[in-house]
Chains A and B, each alone.
Chain A
Amino acid sequence: MRAGFMGADRIGRERRLTRGLGVAGLAGIALFVGAAILALSLAASGNGAPAGAGATSGMADAALFDRYVWRVTRFTLVQAGLSTLLSVAFAVPVALALARRRTFAGRIWIVRLMALPLGLPALVAALGIVGIWGRQGVVNDLFALADLDRPIAIYGLAGILVAHVFFNMPLAVRLLLSGLERIPGEYWLVSANLGMSRLQLFRYIEWPVIRGLLPGIAGLVFMLCATSFTLVLTLGGGPAASTLEVAIYQALRFDFDPPRAIALSALQIAVTALLLLVLRWLTPPVTEALTTGRPVRRFDGGSPLSVLTDAVIVALAALFVAAPLASVLVAGLASDLPKLAADTQVHQAVLTSLGIAAVSAGLAVTLAVAMLTTRQILLSPRRPGRFAHVFSGGVAAGTSLILLVPPVVIGAGWFLLLRPFGDVARFAPAVITLINTLMALPFVTRVLAPAMATHAARTERLTTSLGIRGWARIRRVDGPGLRRPLLMALSFAAALSLGDLGAVALFGSQDMVTLPFLLYSRMGSYRTTDAAGLALLLGLVCVVLTILGTAGESRERAA
């Protein structure tokens, strides 16, 4: 697969093959996304008036259309802003408390709990959140006991916010905590020697770290919430609470209004492009001092009041995250699992989902390896050519293209492109697989790029000078050296694909059912016990895959 800095003649053929694969992969990505965008823009120019109606009512429709688009855009940004604010505001005290208490029993489990939502399919989480916060949920049951008439209405903005906080507060906690744990151990000793109070510790030590991390974290959370599809679809509860992504889906799937879908897609791309720019601008370069590895010992937080507040804060956060998970588990176990196990539609969905997940994960990892290796080969001469730089930039852009052009937009483009060729459901498996591949690429490259760079630095010269190549090299050197990151990337990509509803929502039909799609349609037809059982199944598979995918990460960090 990989070639060396030296002895290029002997392994020239291998290099050319790898390079061909890498270039072809990148071109394929560009083609796939480009075709979707082209299809959207062609359809747009062919259709004239935005609402696609007769010329007489065109003006009135346009005004109506504008108002609708404006409302959807505003809601998208407002809910993302509120979600970010709540997630971060909740995460800061939790991270501070966890950083202060380094050794209580169960701490590691709480930190692990904070990693769980990351792997949970949005649809499963939505079900769990309804189980806790919904009309018949636990919280309203408690209010009912106090003779209050079930005051919490989950569908709408409230539900979206709860769900976004459920996903993003733990993410923010983990990012903040790892920042706080990088504070040099000497700081705590120096501050103890200087006699700093709780407030002064916060002001001089903790806050500067948090302030440095906040823009990046807030930007990331905002981006995730602004492009959130499944949660808004399931918990939004109607057109009043619709984001751009959901509006695109509704325009195609229900109203069959391609011009509107196109306009919304353009707007979506503009919004995400702007967000990505702001995010890049907000995220400061890492200027972290190397610590001497002095074990951290803290002398603050000894008072009973401080211990009590920290305990309450951490317990609340743990409860907030664990409750929906427990709800999924309890409801799932109470459902008629044997009946589900005998359901042929479930079998079909499991097979389809597994097939799509396996192919898209394999494809994502192969593409990433080919492109990263090619980049490495091209950049290895002392003075890399112009093409090398163009390709290198292309890889960076190509692997994160899905962040700019969301799955629903690509799906919409291919939906329009394939419609003339008959029932779009026929092409669904291929399109969904490719979209899932693209969705996995940013994560897969983030796992593989540093691992491959380290591996190359360790082995490249040696294997080249020993003349180890071809199959022997894969089996003896690259395979063992990169096994863990490769498995991590594979399981992460598979989990992502298994839990995805965005791509399948547009294309799904009676004949094309994945597990999330089946779960969504059973929820929609009020077969709630079926939905609970499916959610448990899907949640378990994805969480296990994610744990496999991130296990190596924490172990490496510990080493």
Chain B
Amino acid sequence: MTHMTKLLLSASGLSIAVLGVQPAFAAGTTAGSSITNTVTVEFQVGGVDQTDVTASDTFVVDRKINTSVAEQGNVTTTVAPNQQDAVTAFNVTNSSNDVVDINLAATNSAAAHGGTDNFDVSGFQIYLDDGDGSYDSGDTLITYLDEMAEDETRLVFVIADIPNGRATGDVAGIRLTGTVREGGAVSSLGAAITESSSNDAAVEDTVFADADGTFDGISFDNDDYTVAAAALSAVKISEVLATGYPIAGATEYFNIPGATVQYCIAVTNASGGADATGVTITDTVPADTTFVGGSILIGGSYDDNGTPGDTSDDSCSGGSAGGSFDGTDVTAPLGTVSAGTTEVVTFRATID
């Protein structure tokens, strides 16, 4: 009598059940959909058409829980020591066949793009992009993604603070972890999801289907911050000028009252690091000397005379007028000192 039962099923439930099936998503048929397969046989006996026979079979599509967290792009984020709110971006996707919440957590982790993780960042915060694809004031501080539709992807930004004192090439790995939680309640994080212990063709069970092979509804990805520090060094030299020397006809110039001394400060930013911006030189004019008004020159060149490290034979030249003197200190704004370059400031004072 089995086929009679099947017949009843097909007569009552067939078309309704098929209509209830949602269009296919990449995440798949919506959980809870019934799939009914119906087969019809037409035949004749003795050349006479007989009533068609149908049979059907129905089962319910279970709930597949799956999420993916993926760093946006595949490059490290370059940061400066003491940088606040350094940004990394992740795409979080609900690959489940149901609406879910996804709880988010950012932690320190291993490096993601080569190099070795050797420091930790702090002050993690997670922001939901407002749709423009960049971290800005329109983004929303969140701890979870609310009511993620099937196949929906949202862009989130993880921001963190970089400690001071890190050197160029230092790496801090971070990790964003997404954990699928129950959906259905707007603006509140749903309960944790557990796999169904029941297993019934007629019931929507819950099954973890993680792509990473660990069946827990948790996905994560790593990213990292790489420090590019500016390594500035300064050299200061002085020489007595022939110009204005108090003894006419002298061929050697000594630090005597009335002589003019040219001070030269050379600021070098080591190559391989970051450009140093907003660099300003402040130097106190020595006691017992008098600053020569308008003598500050910026952007000259520094000549080490072929002997780096030995400043006794070094000299400076050129530059254009700039900077200021407040009666005590010479201030000279250099602006940007690019990595691998040297910027020079000179000024003059007469010995009292």
Decide whether A and B assemble into one complex.
no
Residues of chain A whose beta carbon lies under 8 Å from any beta carbon of chain B: none
